[in-house]
Amino acid sequence: MLHLEPVTKENWRDAVFLTTDPKHENPLDEEWVTSTAFSMLQAVYEENWDCRVVYDGEMMVGFVFYGLWKGNRPLLCRYMIDIDHQGKGYGQRALPLIVRQICAQYHSQKVYVTLEKENRRAVYLYEKFGFRDTGEVDEGENVYLYRVDGAGAM
């Protein structure tokens, strides 16, 4: 069963090596996402950020980094499925869990995400789920918004 878990002293070492890099070199800044190691460190030192790992049963398959952005806007900042588990539907299946986690944790009916428009797979995933482009751009990335009360079902 797919579920989210906090990064802990028991699982952080496995989480560090989750990567989207086909060569498994774990660069600090991968093609479309910043590394899990950087994200976990950021969550420790910047209080507005949090992270979770995505599990299928006992198997770690992905990572998510989220928090409050621009004051009080819940942002799904980084989301990745490990290269060894891509193409198996995990990205689509875990997204509702992630959105529910963010909404519950921040008592919000909205979740934002920023995307590079060239990342067609991510744009397709988020739009299919119900995220809509707001027309806003942040640091070169398009800002998308999901409204629990309107633009898509969870």
Residue with token string 């997204």: 95
CA-nearest of 119, 108, 128, 3 to 56 is: 3
Torsion angles phi and psi, residue 58, rounded to 5: -95, -5
The catalytic residue among 79, 106, 112, 126 is 126
Residue with token string 């995990």: 90
Is residue 124 among the annotated active site residues? no
Residue with token string 């070492």: 13
Distance CA 154, CA 152 (A): 7
**Facing residues of 3 across strands?**
55
Residue with token string 């988020």: 126
Q: Which positions are annotated as active-site residues?
A: 126
